[in-house]
Amino acid sequence: MENINQRPSRFDQQLKTFQTLLAAYPGEVPLARFLPGFFRENKQMGSNDRRIASRLIYNYFRIGKALSESSPSDRLFVAEFLCQASPTPFLEHFHQKLNASISASVDEKLEILSDLKLGFELSDVFPFAGHLSQGIDQNAFLKSFFVQPDLFIRIHPNKESGVLAVLDSAAVPYKKESFDCLRLPNGTKLDQIFPEEKFFEIQDISSQQTGAYFQPKQYDYWWDCCAASGGKSLLLFHQQPQIKLVVSDMRETILANLNERFQLAGLKKYQKKVLDLTQNPEPYIHDFHFDGIIVDAPCSGSGTWGRTPEMISQFREAKIGSFQRLQRSILRNVVKYLKPEKPLVYITCSVFTEENEENVLFLQQEFNLKLEKQEVLRGYDKKADTMFVARLLKES
């Protein structure tokens, strides 16, 4: 790599800050949770310094495991080139040749890197491509990591005009993806724009699309068995407000967050249970039988790594099998509570076939469930998450 200016400059300081930040990052916590603490400990950094440092570290992780033998600074320069769409003073300082072509398309950039013989290979970014679910375009998926996903919200029923009025008043750009789904720029400060009531849920568009598989009927009895903070339950409730609902998760703290979200959304009648579904839930579920079960399974989260690119570097291939075993242990313990001819909706935010199609096949073979439909919800081509959803019926 070429350094066109050996004199200390603000760009050298930005690079030094990046190196300090990278060395301090432990890797066990999400980068978004680590950065605020780092900035609190480095109060000398102004808002612009924090913004640039955040951009550099996120871009660095967006090239995944590519150039793993190169120095962090060399990896960073390539990452800036691939992830930024317009010239940056930082890259101009350290690598004029790359900065001069930064407005090119991703495909053109990949050709430039090849011509420069810098050792960058697209396939190295995400070295788990052999595990991708059917129908995923490998190259398009890998290139999507160079672009930050957008922010999506789902508006509560009959609240569209009020939400749009607030966004218009705050001059926030948005795009309507459907009657209740909006696309906004990532980083939009919704808490500041809506300081009081929020008649919407922050929910990726692919997550919203899983709701098409629910199809609840009035007074149905449903179980959201891996409910987390309740996003799928609220989607179900807004489809059929007369639903009878049981929610469970093994984390009591996250269920507390669920309580708050439910109250704000007007969902007040539900049962809540703290359950580890890798164990037999019979002492807590008793003789319950449900008209529908949602299994939004704990998974690798690989379809969301565009938002958390640090996970690409941290992930180990052996974990795919571990997640599959976890998912199957949960499925074994919930299927028996499903009424005949009723649906089990299986969801992951994974791109791995072991967590997706192979588990659907497991449900068919082990429990005689009938597959109605399964789908990879491709978000990689629309600046969104990629998810998997399947609807299966329990045969009589």
Q: The domain spanning residue 271 has which CATH number?
A: 3.40.50.150
Which of 139, 174, 202 finishes a domain? 202
Distance CA 10, CA 93 (A): 10
What is the value of pTM for the model shown? 0.94
Amino acid at 107: D
| 213 and 174 within one domain | no
* Residue 126 to residue 144: CA distance in whole angstroms: 11
Q: How many domains does the chain have?
A: 3
Is 140 contained in some domain?
A: no
Question: Do residues 184 and 331 both lie within one domain?
Answer: no
* pLDDT of res. 4: 47
Range of the domain at 171: 151-202
Please report whether residue 234 resides in a domain.
yes
Cβ–Cβ < 8 Å for 389, 345: yes
CA dihedral 355, 360, 365, 366 (to 10 degrees): 70
Check: CB of residue 293 under 8 Å from CB of residue 222: yes
Query: What is the Cα–Cα distance from 250 to 261, expressed in whole angstroms?
Result: 18
Residues 302 and 186 in one domain: no
Tell me: do 163 and 99 sit in the same domain: no
Is 222 in the same domain as 252? yes
pLDDT at 7: 61
**134 domain-assigned:** no
Amino acid making up residue 266: G
52 is a domain residue: yes
Q: Are 229 and 223 in contact (CB under 8 A)?
A: no
Same domain for 243 and 385, yes or no, is yes
Q: Are 120 and 198 within one domain? A: no
Q: What is the mean pLDDT of each run of 10 residues along the chain (396 residues)?
A: 61 96 93 95 93 97 96 98 97 96 97 96 95 96 97 96 96 96 96 91 98 96 95 96 95 89 91 94 86 98 97 95 98 96 98 98 96 98 97 93
Residue 5 lies in a domain: no
Pair 18, 76 in one domain: yes
Residues 92 and 99: their CA atoms lie apart, in Å, by: 5
Distance CA 234, CA 221 (A): 14
Regarding whether 233 and 349 lie in a shared domain, the answer is yes
pLDDT at 271: 93
Whether 370 maps to a domain, the answer reads: yes
Residue 195 lies in a domain: yes
pLDDT at 2: 46
Give burial (CB, 10 Å; 0-12/13-18/19+) of 346.
buried
Domain-embedded: residue 135: no
pLDDT value at residue 277: 95
Same domain for 223 and 370, yes or no, is yes
* Burial track 78-110 (b if 16+ CB lie within 10 A, e otherwise): bbbbbbbeeebebbbbbbeebbeebeeebeebb
Domain check: are 216 and 247 in the same one?
A: yes
Contact status, residue 81 vs residue 91, Cβ threshold 8 Å: yes
What is the structure's pLDDT at 284? 83
* Same structural domain, 183 and 324: no
Contact residues for 206 (Cβ-Cβ < 8 A; gap 6+): 303, 349, 377, 378, 379, 384, 385, 386, 387
The Cα–Cα gap between 115 and 118 comes to 8
**Which H or E run includes 389?**
strand 387-394
Q: Which helix (H) or strand (E) holds 60?
A: helix 47-62
